[in-house]
Structure 1
């Protein structure tokens, strides 16, 4: 099958082509590698990409299919993995200057759910050091370049800084990331992709180097909402391709008879936003309203409380400094000075203040759940 460009095929289409034998995983993976060779030196999405290892996985996926193994929905689909996940056979740096001990290379349940689908891991993408930053900057390995500006080196968003770029350049169709305070959503937004941040605890964070156990979540990015929906169904149920398509069709049919209520906060979202961004958001809301969604104004004081806590460091700096002291004490002096200064804030926070912040987060979560009784 001829793929004319890296943007043309959604995952459901590729999955159908792979399952029917019109496309092989090796062909698709070679295309992903070729795309990276075209853009990789300029954009710097990957910390570690091993073409032969990826091709071996692709050939194995093809052999499984030829042997009659049931085809799963993500069988043979190239997936990039943020270098904060353990991934068997790959080193892990978490954006730091030194490779972490071997025990952190072990794959956790979230990665294994993709392996169970016989997806192809194309490589590990860059991250901000220990995922502690939202712009995507890394002074150890170079900051990946936002692909939307070919002349100026603009930040890609973080902390999953290479994930959105791997989608843009066509070296992956799914990009695994993590989200503590925006680290899937920000780089997806910066690079024109779709980031899925799930509720805390929806997927296990075992096998992920922790930033903040209080807030960390596993997630992923894709090029489109349709792709995100397809992947979510696939890994939530580990279903065969036909079952995933059937589930999505049934959900789409149900959704046609539902008028979704979208909450629009009249406060912080707009007062802290640049005019151009506000206009884009308003246009998106108007489009949704034209599709028969109902826009509902509501008060959201929890957002202001969350921002105030973030500006104080939240629980994140405390939990990260505790992790480093317990697990990687020799890493502290090698940290990027900017990251080190952020982390040091945690050492100045008392146990009483830390517990207050955690309690505040739990209280805000409970209040937000109440809000969602009235909106979708």
Structure 2
């Protein structure tokens, strides 16, 4: 790495997509952002925006066979803007990896041993880790000389005490099959908890925060003095809050019941709970904007879905208030958390005795900046803090390669 190498390429490889951002770590400026989707289909699409040059978004469609072809297409787009992967200014490539198990609790430079361990974790992250691995191997082939760093979704939650991380099942069985609560969205929870402390003018070590990451996937965390002490997702991203298509918390015996009484296979139950449940299972929509529109039109099914969603949120706010003992702030983030004022209002409504309230006029403001939406008299600050997982990955990657 040269002394002038200050750029980090962040790659988030999904099963049929690659999201990417090129960031200059001198000031956090995004030089380019983009998305390749529907990889492996005839109708693949690449959308690329060269922010450094102030250029317009460029979109191309056509078959992109695999991740290797996708990353080569990304490299071509970056090179067209003078930002190619062969640039001496590129310091490293940071990869989002969903599951790091107990072994990876910090950003890690990727070598063969790291790749084998990520692969060993595939059984506990079958939808995510294989795609992450494909992206890493493709990037390594393109720039074998460049540091490649894995930043794990589970890492921030590794500080959970054993009594929060363990399930109450036979210990030997749990250990043999790595069954425990790992948590996810860790880069978001880390970033937002720090930003919330800064918004309050305090060091993270001084602040207890409940972070509510509400997107299509949703999770809550209890962060005490900068360290996660509990989180809602568990062995997989299925546990916890009601989500766009995932059920969240459910009696485990429901799966046995569906198998015995409905004759459903394990795979069918998996699809039901992960892709056909949550908001879409309750009312047929997983877009909160559409659900609110339907509620305004008097749709009772949409209203019930919203009420179930909010009820679960309140339960976690209450539970994590008890876990933390003292709550300094509740922070809403991600697509729904940042943009759906009715969700924020409803989630906090009735919690005044716990020191939480929302100011209607402040809550109605739309902004890309971190902001408080609670009245001055509230004992607990309620905040909206836009997340930036890509910047968090870039910062962790850059810090590691410069250590």
Structure 1-normalised TM-score?
A: 0.28
Larger helix proportion, structure 1 or 2?
1
The structure in which a higher percent of residues are strand is: 2
